[in-house]
Amino acid sequence: MKRIIWIMVAVLGVALLVGCAAGGLLGLVKLIGVGRLAGQLSEAFSGDDPTEYRVYMDGYDIGRSPGPNGNIDLNGLPEGLHLISITTVNKQWGWHRLIEVSADQTVDIGQINPIQGATIAGTLSRETTGGGTSLLPGMLVIAVKNAATLLQAGGSGPIYLPPDSVGSGLTYLLAYTDDQGRFLLGPAEFGDYIVIAAAAGYLSDAAFVQVSAGQNASGINLVLPRDGSQNPGRISGAVSVAATGKTLMTADMDPRVYQTPISSGLRQQIEQQSGLQLTTEPWFRLRTLTTLSDDLGTYNLDLPAGRHRLQAFMFGYQAKEVLVDLGAGALETVDFTLQSR
């Protein structure tokens, strides 16, 4: 059976739910609730052509730009809390806003205050079994402003991503690595950040980064060390769509979270750079683990053992999800075919 007609890059995520059982597909694929984000942004572009900006949802370019009059009408975003970013291609200018999307409802994007900030750029790799490293395409990189302050020993940490609500006050940036493992975060407000990446089966890597006016942060090269104490499973498959266009797949991890383990040496290094004593607990609790498919629409996602709600989303198409039980070290295959809305 022909599974793929035209296939574009996709983002894939998994929601970790309570429970663990024998491996396999637990139920039929069902549709995910979606809502609409709309508004008028003409005053925020300061004479620029709005169509030259890009719209990102949780760090992924959804393949849309504002209209020529600065209008935004994104009908079909998956329900939940999302970081919406509208920036120039070089990510030097734009804005970010947390938006709560509810199924079958319209959210007004509201007043926009764009910033001219810096960018944070680098690469993401992981250790291989042969002792070398390999670049990681399609992986999420996160930068959290003032994270070291939030993670001080005895402070308010850990940091949950996404946060609990729109009013959390947390400032963070998201971006996915390209085919060469490179990432570009921005625009970043001036200040200090912790930049982190995570993957099941590996220790997380992180960097303390300071950005200031006229000075971008480059060469932030993260490497994920193998973690023998973890024995993740893997879900693989293919995503097929019957039209051209960029594809987004995403998922949540509520109520369970993935804790980002780091080495004691890395914690001490960031303590020295920040001048703060940081908690010894895992710093971040991620409600999603995600990946991008390759150019052929195939994906591989390593996950802790458990029951996962695997979701597939592409803007302009019907979002879908399915429950999968994944055992430690197990391999499961889940394919998606998405139809236009």
- Other Cβ atoms within 10 Å of 239 Cβ, number: 28
Banded model confidence at residue 11, pLDDT cuts 50, 70, 90: low
Q: Which of 18-27, 40-49, 52-61, 250-259 has the lowest mean pLDDT?
A: 18-27
- Other beta carbons within 10 Å of 323: 18
Q: What sign does the CA torsion over 159, 311, 7, 303 have?
A: positive
Q: What is the mean pLDDT of the chain?
A: 86
Please give the radius of gyration of the chain, using alpha carbons only, rounded to the nearest integer: 19
Strand-strand pairing, 11-17 and 289-292:
antiparallel
| Predicted pLDDT of residue 22 | 41
Q: What is the pLDDT of residue 85?
A: 96
Share of the chain above pLDDT 70, in %: 89
Q: Which distant-in-sequence residues (6+ apart) come within 8 Å of 149 by Cβ? A: 155, 276
pLDDT number for residue 86:
95
211-215, 231-235, 269-273: which is most confident: 269-273
Rounded CA separation 143/69 (Å): 31
Place of tokens 């970013």: 85
Q: Tokens 């680098």 map to which residue?
A: 122
* 8 A C-beta contact, residue 38 and residue 108: yes
The answer to whether 94 and 88 are in contact (CB under 8 A) is yes
- Its pTM stands at 0.91
Question: Cα–Cα distance between 80 and 233 in angstroms, integer?
Answer: 26
Kind of pairing, strands 191-197 and 140-145?
antiparallel
Neighbour-count burial of 159, counting CB atoms closer than 10 A to its CB (0-12 exposed, 13-18 middle, 19+ buried): buried
**Nearest CA among 158, 9, 171, 147 for reference residue 83:** 171
The pLDDT value recorded for residue 252 is: 45
**CA neighbor of 200 nearest in space, from 303, 74, 284, 109:** 303
Q: Which of 144, 137, 59, 45 lies closest to 88 in space, CA to CA?
A: 45
Measured between alpha carbons, how far is 210 from 62 in angstroms, rounded to an integer?
29
Of the candidates 163, 181, 183, the one whose C-alpha atom is nearest the C-alpha of residue 172 is 163
- Please tell me if the domain spanning 11-32+117-338 has the same topology as the one spanning 37-111: yes
Q: Taking CA 259 as the corner, what is the angle to CA 34 and CA 247, rounded to the nearest 5 degrees?
A: 30
pLDDT tens-digit series, residues 164-222: 999 999 999 999 999 899 999 999 999 999 999 999 999 999 999 999 887 899 999 99
Instruction: Let me know if domain 37-111 sits in CATH 3.30.300.20.
Output: no
List the chain domain ranges: 11-32+117-338, 37-111
pLDDT tens string 277-331: 999 999 999 988 998 777 777 888 899 888 888 888 778 888 888 888 889 999 9
Domain boundaries 11-32+117-338, CATH class: mainly beta
Amino acid 245: pLDDT: 44
Query: β-strand 258-259 against 336-338: which pairing, if any?
Result: unpaired
Going by C-beta distance under 8 Å and a sequence separation of 6 or more, which residues neighbour residue 84? Answer: 37, 55, 56, 57, 96, 97, 98, 99, 109
CB 95 within 8 A of CB 86: yes
